[in-house]
Amino acid sequence: MFKGVIFDLDGTLLDTIADMSSSVNQVLAALGYPQFSCAEYKQKIGRGFRNLLERSLPEEHRTDEEISAALKRFLEIYDQNYMNETVPYEGIPEVLNHLVEKGVKMGVNSNKRTDYTNNLIRKFFPDIEFVGVFGERAGVPKKPHPQSALEILERMELAANEVIYIGDSGTDIQTGKNAGMATAGVLWGFRTSAELEENGADYILRTPQEIITLF
C-alpha cells in the first residue's frame, strides 16, 4: 500500500523512558523539587527537551532562567546516561529488516536532539539504511511542524500519499497530517489510544508486527 514510512523515535522505535525519567529526576532531586514516575513522564515527553524540563519544574519555578539552568544540568546528566536502559521495542528490529527486504524507504523524525537521535539509531539499528534521520535542529521548527518530515519525503523521492507517518503521540499524528501523509498511531509507546484517535490517526497499531500489514 505504502512505499515509504517516517518513524518517530521515542515511544515508537525505542523505549527511552527510563533513561529520560532518571535523568530529569536527578535534576529535580538536586534542586529539591518533587520527582515523577516513568508513567508521569510519558505524558510530558514529545516536544523537545526544553519543554520536558519546563513541564517537570514546579510552576512557580518555570522562568526562562530556571528552565535554561535545569536544561543545562539535564543535558550533562543525560549525555552520560541515555543508553543505559534504552532498548528497541520487542519486534521492531525484525519489522525494520522485513521492510528493508520489501524495498520500503524509511526515515526517522524526532524532537529529541539530532546528535542523540543519530547516535541511538546507529547503535540499535546499525544495518538499517534510513534515507534521513532528523532530530531537533537549530533553525528548524520542531514537530508538529512538517519541515523535517517533508525533507525526508523529498529524499525518498515519493509523493506524500505514498508515505505513512508512524508515531505514538498526538504530536506525531499532527506532524504526518501537516505533511499531507497518512498516519498510524502505536499503542506500545507513551500515549493513549484516545489521544491518537482524537488527533485523527488513520490507523491504530497494537503491536510492531502490525506495521508490516501497511505494506
- With cut-offs at 50, 70 and 90, classify the pLDDT of residue 29: very high
Whether omega for the bond prior to residue 34 falls within 30 degrees of 0, making it cis, is no
Query: Which CATH class, in words, describes the domain spanning 17-81?
Result: mainly alpha
Q: What is the pLDDT of residues 127-170, one digit of tens each?
A: 999 999 999 999 999 999 999 999 999 999 999 999 999 999 99
Quote the mean pLDDT of the chain.
97
Phi, psi angle pair for 69, to nearest 5°: -65, -40
Strand partners, 186: 205
Cβ distance 49 to 74 under 8 Å?
yes
Within the chain, strands assigned E span: 4-7, 14-15, 87-88, 105-113, 132-136, 163-167, 182-186, 203-205
Is the pLDDT at 46 greater than 90? The verdict is no
Which of 74, 75, 81 is CA-nearest to residue 28?
Answer: 74
Segment holding 115, helix H or strand E = helix 114-124
The amino acid that residue 77 corresponds to is: I
**How many angstroms separate the CA atoms of 109 and 8, rounded?**
5
The HSE-up count of residue 96 (CA atoms within 13 Å, CB side) is 23
Superfamily of domain 4-15+86-214: HAD superfamily/HAD-like (3.40.50.1000)
**How many angstroms separate the CA atoms of 60 and 200, rounded?**
34
The pTM score is 0.93
Segment holding 174, helix H or strand E = helix 170-178
Task: List the domain boundaries for the chain.
Answer: 4-15+86-214, 17-81
159 Cβ contact partners less than 8 Å away, ≥ 6 residues apart: none
- With cut-offs at 50, 70 and 90, classify the pLDDT of residue 67: very high
The residue whose grid cell reads 529520560 is 20
Which of 39, 49, 125 is CA-nearest to residue 82?
Answer: 49
